[in-house]
Structure 1
């Protein structure tokens, strides 16, 4: 079949070719519309999913922002130190300061200080009460540093129990001539501020009292004064 025969065949059957082209066009147009709908559906589903996730993230952020902040740590500690230091008193140091820093703030120890049982590396707590013992002073290691709650901040060096016996309880009710500060000494009958300072000065110069009768060696305290307060004394 040559070209002339093909041309005549097409012209004779052109109505069939036109119908075929129309059908093919309809099929292509329908397929293209279906693809666009699928794409639009996928986009809508993704958008809807993103909208559902956004509130969840926002809620998590809101919960995180509403959490209470951690309490701020104290930036300083204030402690009271007495005993064998050059300047007894109350000092404020930076947080987590050690006992050695408090001793240095108080001018250092005196020549008659007994440091064998003192843990100078101890980290201080706010309102700790510290007593540096004098040489020969009878004091337990767990009595050197006392917290505001009254509990000991150090462990006894000899490993003894901190449980207080009835006899110890009686002694604690008395004023210890070797450990009491000026205010504590003024609790004694007939001892004012001046005599309390004299007792402390004697203690710093001569060391701790060996027995309560040694109090009579302090200027201004005679037999009559001693007799009036001996039942309140301990060493």
Structure 2
């Protein structure tokens, strides 16, 4: 078949060729459009996934930040003031969670005349606690052994050597003239070592004090001295 014959054949059947070209064109256009839609859909889905992931991460950061802000910082140390029957009264700083026994040891240990039977040495201390270790024979309120910053007191009870309950008034600890030793008597205002020995000597010679006013019978203790310490006395 030569070119002339091919040309004549095409001209005779040109409508079929046109239809075929149109079909092929439509098929190509449809295929390309489908590919573009798939690409756009995939791109949209990927973008939505990334946005959701970013939102979740941002929300998690906000939650962690808020939690950190709401949670108060815990102190690493506690500083407490200890007085009374210890070797070295003063202010000591210990690790948070320290107990009463650790504070007593930091103060050099309990004095020989300390009254520790009813002191809760396992008590966990709070920052700025005021601790007073009672002397043997000293009468002190249970809530005056450990006083916290807010004015609340730790539960701890003391008793004298005879096992009787201790009492005191709002002015503070009271000292029993009939049971206190020299060290305990020296906790009274204006009573030094010499006067404490005189009180004990009077007690040994004349027996127990019947009333606190009898203290004025001791040499060197007049009305002025008695007036300064009468609120601290008990019999």
Aligned residue for 2:170? 172
Within 5 Å, which residues of 2 pair with 1:135-150? 135-150=136-151
Name 2:6's counterpart in structure 1. Answer: none
Q: Which segments of 5 or more consecutive residues in structure 2 lack a partner in the other structure?
A: 1-8, 160-166, 198-207
In the alignment, the residues of structure 2 paired with residue 200 and residue 37 of structure 1 have an alpha-carbon distance, to the nearest angstrom, of 108
* Structure 1 position 106, deviation (Å): 1.1
User: Is the CA contact 1:77–1:127 (under 8 Å) kept in the aligned structure 2?
Assistant: yes
Per the TM alignment, residue 85 of structure 1 is displaced from its structure 2 partner at its CA by: 1.3
**More divergent stretch after superposition (48-57 vs 21-30):** 48-57
Give me the whole-angstrom Cα distance separating, in 1, the residues matched to 2:194 and 2:217: 9
Question: Could you tell me the TM-score, scaled by structure 1's length?
Answer: 0.62
8 Å Cα contact 1:174-1:234 kept in structure 2: no
* In 2, Cα distance between equivalents of 1:121 and 1:21: 100
* Match of residue 131 from structure 2: 130
Q: Does 1:76 align with 2:77?
A: yes
Cα offset for 1:105? 1.0
Q: Distance in 1 between matches of 2:173 and 2:135?
A: 16
**1:158-197 alignment, distance < 5 Å:** 171-173=169-171, 176-177=174-175, 188=189, 191=190, 195=191
Between the aligned partners of 1:200 and 1:27, the Cα distance in structure 2 is 123
Aligned to 1:7: none
Q: Partners in 2 of 1:113 and 1:128 — Cα distance?
A: 19
Report how far residue 120 of structure 1 moved.
0.6
Distance 2:146 2:175 in 1: 18
1:30 aligns with 2:29: yes
Q: 1:84 to 1:96 in 2, by over 3 A?
A: same
Cα gap change, 1:66 to 1:174, in 2 (>3 Å): closer
Deviation at 1:126, TM superposition (A): 1.6
Q: Distance in 2 between matches of 1:99 and 1:200?
A: 33
Aligned residues: 199
CA contact (8 A) 1:175 1:232 kept: no
Superposition RMSD in Å: 4.3
- Displacement of 1:224: 4.7
CA gap of 1:31–1:113, structure 2 versus 1, over 3 A, is same
Unaligned runs of 5+ in 1: 1-10, 159-167, 203-209
